[in-house]
Amino acid sequence: MFCININRKAGDDVKTRHRVRLITGMLTLAVLLPVLFSIWLAHHQAEKRFLNELNSYTDRTLRRTIQVEEQAKIALWEINRFRGEACGPEHLKTMRRLTFSFRHVQEVMFIRNRTLLCSSLENREEDRLWPRPDRINAEGYAVWFTENNDLNFYHYMVALGIGSHVVVMDPMSFIDVIPFGSWPIDVALIGLNQNRVIASSARFDERVWQRARQSNLSTFEHQGNVYLIRRQPDSGFALVVWASRLPLEKASRDQLLLWLPLGVVISALAVVLTLRLLRRIQSPRYRLLDAINASELRVFYQPIVNLSNGRVVGAEALVRWPQPDGSMLTPDIFIPLAEQTGLITRITRQVVESVFRDLGDYLHVHPDMHISINLAPEDLASDHLLDMLTPLLARWEVEPHQIALEITERSFADPKVTSPVIERLRAAGHAVYIDDFGTGYSSLSYLQDLPIDILKIDKSFVDALEYKQVTPHIIEMAKSLKLKMVAEGVETESQADWLRQHGVQFGQGWLYSKALPAGEYIAWFTQQNTTLLT
């Protein structure tokens, strides 16, 4: 695993600041979201349960009101079938039997011309005037919400009548439903015509009904209570069901004890996974991948000079990776990483495209100049490189011999795979260099069989010309194989003189120039040619 050590100035780099903000945001979300969600879920579950119980109780109460009303209608239908003497013994007996048969019917009365003549409770000796109905519903039933009674005490009753008979019911029978929930629930029966409370299971603040009526509300909160309104216009009443929120808060805390530990655990797992993901994103491979995707890699050009006359014959394309602090990473640091992680072919493609973009016009104008491009073993696994070069050469009107290809010794580790590809590249007109010769495999035994044109002498041998005897042997071997040579890392005149005297044709290194951006390279080349001409 390659480790890339880079000094950063985060405050000077927009991308770094953005990444820091992204990391901070992701960690904050990883910590807060599960906890906040568990708090919300606890409250939501308690609220949902609370409203479900309130709705369930409202539905059951509404069914009760309909049941009571239907029972009253059936009782009226049966008593109106009586054809005997009005208020006679049989009539009174029939009315009393109905009060026993129908549990919600309190009294059955016989009324003629608004005069109450008799009832199931007693045979009246004094006739009493019965009030006019509060309303007549769509089915023709008269409806009363009245406190009219002969006992002289205030108590509202609900009466339903048709024909000459009226049945009386206690309003509490409409709402006499036991709540089965986890907290107290109350209900009130409201008469829609009079807008008054007919019955209530607990003290009911009529201002609540006024507010609901004026704004036509069906659900609202008031002074710590939640209210549900169900209107029954055909029956002339409305149900108001309510419960205090205090038990809801307790239920919410109970739910929180259940969900919060789970939220904390999920939060911890999310933090761990986020940190692992961020470490992965921050890994050298992903940083290099980001640079490739953003086309951040830059190509510099180091001149190659004819040692005999000092003329520039071309340049080697060297890729660099700019860093946020302004420094440049050289290929020896990140190319091995790219080869390990399968990114090298993408880098090669970007380098080739950059060479033509930077120097396509320059090469077209100077057909005797060439640019050499470094290849990795992976680039020789197929003909994709040749497929890429051919249209670029045609587009920029550059000759194939102007694009040379440098291949390290490692590329020949499997000659059965690489040699055919190299042969096709040479057949297309591209010169092939063997780069860093002598630093990799023991090449002497098979160098004569390699399909190459030029041998590059590694800088390590150039640095030790006065102390080692390997370089002369490499030079003699190249001469015997009729291979041209390029010496890398030439930094002094004495090195250049020695190489020239021993028959090395070309050199590159800081003696002539460091690697330059395209614009600077062209300017340097122009100045160098001008100097030589004068």
Residue 509 within any structural domain of the chain: yes
β-bridge pairing 225-232 and 454-457: unpaired
How far is C-alpha 218 from the geometric centre of its chain's CA atoms?
Answer: 37
Name the range with the highest mean pLDDT among 118-132, 245-259, 261-275, 344-358: 344-358
Instruction: Give the DSSP per-residue string, 122-134.
Output: ---SS-EEPPPPS
Which ranges of 295-370 would DSSP assign to H, the alpha helix?
331-340, 344-365
What is the per-residue pLDDT for 9? 38
Q: What is the pLDDT of residues 172-184, one digit of tens each?
A: 999 888 888 777 8
CATH of the domain at 356: 3.20.20.450
pTM attached to this predicted model: 0.55
What is the domain range of residue 386? 286-533
What would the mean pLDDT of 325-347 be, rounded to a whole number? 85
| Position 163 pLDDT exceeds 50 | yes
Residue 388 within any structural domain of the chain: yes
What would the mean pLDDT of 212-228 be, rounded to a whole number? 88
Residue 176 within any structural domain of the chain: no
- Identify which has the larger pLDDT, 445 or 23: 23
| Cα 239 to Cα 200: distance, rounded to the nearest angstrom | 10
Q: Residue 8's pLDDT band (boundaries 50, 70, 90)?
A: very low
Q: What is the number of structural domains in the chain?
A: 1
Q: Residue 504's pLDDT band (boundaries 50, 70, 90)?
A: very high
Residue 386 within any structural domain of the chain: yes
- Identify which has the larger pLDDT, 332 or 73: 73
Residue 203 within any structural domain of the chain: no
Question: For the CA atoms of the chain, what is the radius of gyration?
Answer: 50
Q: Cα separations (Å) of 230 from 57, 200, 227, 436, 523?
A: 12, 15, 10, 90, 89
Residue 60 within any structural domain of the chain: no
What would the mean pLDDT of 234-244 be, rounded to a whole number? 87
Q: What is the pLDDT of residues 288-298, one digit of tens each?
A: 888 888 888 99
What is the per-residue pLDDT for 5? 41
Query: Whole-number mean pLDDT of the chain?
Result: 83
Residue 240: phi and psi, rounded to 5, are: -115, 115
Residue 55 within any structural domain of the chain: no
Both tokens assigned to 511: 């003696």
Q: Residue 253's pLDDT band (boundaries 50, 70, 90)?
A: low
What would the mean pLDDT of 171-197 be, rounded to a whole number? 86
| Cα 507 to Cα 530: distance, rounded to the nearest angstrom | 20
Q: Residue 3's pLDDT band (boundaries 50, 70, 90)?
A: very low
Residue 116 within any structural domain of the chain: no
Range with the poorest average pLDDT among 103-107, 320-324, 469-473, 515-519: 469-473
What is the per-residue pLDDT for 17? 55
Name the range with the highest mean pLDDT among 126-130, 210-214, 512-516: 512-516
What would the mean pLDDT of 488-492 be, rounded to a whole number? 92
- Identify which has the larger pLDDT, 420 or 497: 497
Contacts of 209 (CB under 8 A, 6+ apart): 188, 190, 195, 197, 240
The gap between the terminal CA atoms of the chain, to the nearest Å, is 53
| Position 165 pLDDT exceeds 90 | yes
Q: What is the pLDDT of residues 114-156, one digit of tens each?
A: 888 888 987 555 667 888 888 888 889 999 887 766 555 567 7
Q: Residue 463's pLDDT band (boundaries 50, 70, 90)?
A: confident
Nearest alpha-carbon partner for 216 in 186, 181, 247, 192: 192
Q: What is the pLDDT of residues 375-432, one digit of tens each?
A: 988 888 778 888 999 999 999 999 999 999 998 877 766 677 777 888 899 999 999 9
The amino acid at 522: I
Instruction: Give the DSSP per-residue string, 392-406.
Output: HHHHHT--GGGEEEE
Both tokens assigned to 49: 């349960």
- Identify which has the larger pLDDT, 178 or 447: 178
